[in-house]
Chains A and B, each alone.
Chain A
Amino acid sequence: MIKNEDIIKELEKNLMTFSQDARTKNVGVVEKNSDGVVIASGLSQAFMGEEVEFENGEKGVILNLDEDYVSIILFGGGEKITETDKVKTSGKILSITVSEKLIGRVVSPLGDPLDGKPGIRIGKSMPLEKIAAGVIEREPVNTPLKTGVKLIDAIIPIGRGQRELIIGDRGLGKTAIAIDTIINQKPEKNSRLKPVICIYVAIGQKQSTVAQVIEKLKEVGAMDYTIVVCATAADPAALQYLAPYAGVAIAEYFMDKGEDILVVYDDLTKHAWAYRQISLVLRRPAGREAYPGDIFYLHSRLLERAVKLNKEFGGGSITALPIVETQANDISAYIPTNIISITDGQIYLQSDLFNAGIRPAINIGNSVSRVGGAAQTPAIKSAAGKMRLELAQYRELAVFAQFGSELDQATLSQLERGKRVTEILKQPQYQPLPESLQVLSIWAVTNGFLDDIGVESIGKFESEYHNFIKSNHPEIIKNLSLGEKPTEDTIKKMRVITEEFKKIFSK
């Protein structure tokens, strides 16, 4: 129990640091309050991005500075703010309080708790707007960020510090890929890679959808290393606009400590909508599709904050997985093209593939990872090297074969192989695979071990094959999980084991 004297001592200690200097406040008067934007006169000392407080305790941030007026966007509804109300500046740029205690929490873009638990008051104040790390502080992407999705890890690999866009129509599994990636970051024992802290930023989504995501993350134990920043469709546009910046500000706190962070922005289309709404209310000139002129800068300054720092600067990293929703598979719309040009690659999901039962419905032809290849482990590189080429050839031949002309044996076998490769790349939702099992599956299919297995039995074969090796030959799994290129000896063993399993499976 704490003694009375200790409490008094603590109080005295705190009082010693209290400054009694005269305070100067810069105040203004509300002239107009409409659509979440307040126009106030006065505030001659105010600066862009400064937090302000109204008489009734509501807060906002300055987004426009005019000769006689300032425009403030509100964090709340602002129903109680009336003309002639007083507003005062805070002298500080908008920031969020971050500490380790934030891990496992669901917070608003201002850091207020949304999960019913106590607020986080003590921590480091991180500015929402910050200039991204410069070239001196950076190093090339060289460490893999494993998503657990076979197709992505094999063909479109993502590295720590990369910005990989997930793009596609609604309901095709964009969020599912992001959630799978978060689930796959569960710290492994004896892993050579640093654990990854995940931040899921929900922007303008339905509250029920966000609740489902949080529930799923809790169910699989992913909330132990995840932070959810949430600005739903019910929140003011100002909060939706600030949400991704809050997410990256939190990420920067952990990155400064040398940690690796994964940030998912779900999604930036709605973010652009929120910013368009704010800009139109602020009477900023509208451009294409009524978006303001700085819509590109809005996203580029956010995604530029994804970085891989070099060892001198702590070696931390921020990997960004922005999500963009397209309409009718149109990736050439304004916001999608903007973000495609900012990011280091994209994972393109297509409705035709989804409807054909290929899930994840990734279109390999339009998907690319510009820097991730350098981060791929030798193990998966050796297994998946052939696959991309085989798949490309298969797709070309499949189109050709549609005409029904007679095909030679070589072409037929290539088509059959392609079908099996496509089948093995299918993966159920929320079931990320470790790299060792991915390597086994891909190695088996690309080396023809599945050529005599029926396409409909591939899924069953794969899961039983994994279980067989896990229980009977754990040394192979251990060997492959090191990430090194399998030795001749290991490959020999894998051949023998696969043949052995095929005999059991065919029975």
Chain B
Amino acid sequence: MMEPLISIQFVGNKSSYQAGELLECDYQIDAIDREELQAIEASVLWYTEGKGDEDMAVHYFERRVPADAEEEDLRRLRRLRTALPNSPRSYTGMILNIRWCVRVRVFLPRGRHAHLERPFQLGTPVGARLPPPVPPPAWLPASHQVRT
């Protein structure tokens, strides 16, 4: 059985969005027979990545089965649209990153599934700020408190 080829393309080739902006994204499935696709789930979500356990939340979700598709062909190009929320903004920190992505998951016979995700930026890039030019006093270093 061939592996499906999932493609995700942001409209306008954008990779960065502002809060409230409309995210438009096309996805389609190739290299697989129509009958083998049992369902497709597309979601817009954020997750954390870093030195802590991962957290995740879904902002937009859609699930389609063959009956929902034109001519019952889930492989066809489909456009996903959603207005992005105010938060959380994408973030690159020292021990924590917040990432947004569009994820498409396809469900195949015998419990198999495959997925692809395409990341994007929400908000102006925000990173951990450097300490100010005035060095902090010895009693207040860049604290690194680890408790196990």
Task: Answer yes or no: are A and B bound together in one complex.
Answer: no
Q: Taking beta carbons and an 8 Å cutoff, which residues of A are in contact with B?
A: none
- Interface residues of chain B, those whose CB is within 8 Å of chain A, are none
